[in-house]
Amino acid sequence: MKKEIVFREFCKEDSKIIEEIIIEAWHYNDLCSPKTAQKMAKVFLSSCLTNQTYTQVALLNNEPIGVIMAKDSKIHKCLLKYRIRQILAILSLYLFGEGRKVSKIFSSVSEMDKELLKECKHEYEGELAFFAISSKARGNGIGKKMFCDMLEYMKSQNVNNFYLFTDTSCNYGFYEHQGMTRRNEKSHTFFIQGKETKMTFFIYDYFINAKSKE
């Protein structure tokens, strides 16, 4: 029997499984204990929810296997329920030592993202804020379908250009295959679980109308 993939907007019931996808995609279990990894995933998801005007979740047998979130900056307003959820997730992470320690990684990455964006010297109209596919669903064209749907949303909103942040822990080559351009990158060395880990962080962008870049 052919498996049917269903696409719909994000709903609260998706959170737990999407958090598991986040842990897998960003290798949080390599950074800390499983308990802390779960709290980090909650912070990440709640932060993405404060930064979107478009969501799409891919479901297989009613289970989320992929998620994408994007933002039209012209109309974006953070809903209070998502801001409260973010604050509670951050507080939960900060309540114990390991959580405070790994939160420094979040802070370092956030600062690098800000620098990458600033150095681009461009006012973008939108952002691809979050995109992750479960490993068991990759290679089936689901990611491409979700990216194309997001792109159609941007076009419908007259968003002429958008950007995203990614890094070497992800399949960043996917974005180049979808026509995005790498604009800037920065490398940073972290000391995680007593080991030295070097990562490179990127900013990619996409111009729907080439004239908008001029």
Residue by residue, DSSP assigns 2-55 as: PPPEEEE---GGGHHHHHHHHHHHTTGGGTS-HHHHHHHHHHHHHHHHTT-SEE
Low-confidence ranges of the chain (pLDDT < 50): 1, 211-214
Alpha-carbon separation of residue 143 from 24, 35, 64, 178 (angstroms): 16, 29, 13, 10
- If one counts every other C-beta atom within 10 angstroms of the C-beta of residue 104, the result is 10
- Name the domain count of the chain: 1
- pLDDT (0 to 100) of residue 2: 54
Please report the sign of the dihedral spanned by the C-alpha atoms of residue 190, residue 91, residue 84, residue 29.
positive
The strand pair at 181-192 and 195-207 is best described as antiparallel
Range of the domain at 28: 5-213
The strand pair at 161-167 and 126-133 is best described as parallel
- pLDDT (0 to 100) of residue 170: 85
Nearest to 67 by CA among 143, 119, 125: 143
Whether pTM exceeds 0.85: yes
The answer to whether the CB of 130 falls within 8 A of the CB of 68 is yes
45: CATH: 3.40.630.30
Alpha-carbon separation of residue 85 from 12, 37, 46, 50, 78 (angstroms): 11, 17, 6, 9, 11
Tens-digit pLDDT profile for residues 41-100: 999 999 999 999 999 999 998 999 999 999 999 999 999 999 999 999 999 999 989 999
- pLDDT (0 to 100) of residue 212: 45
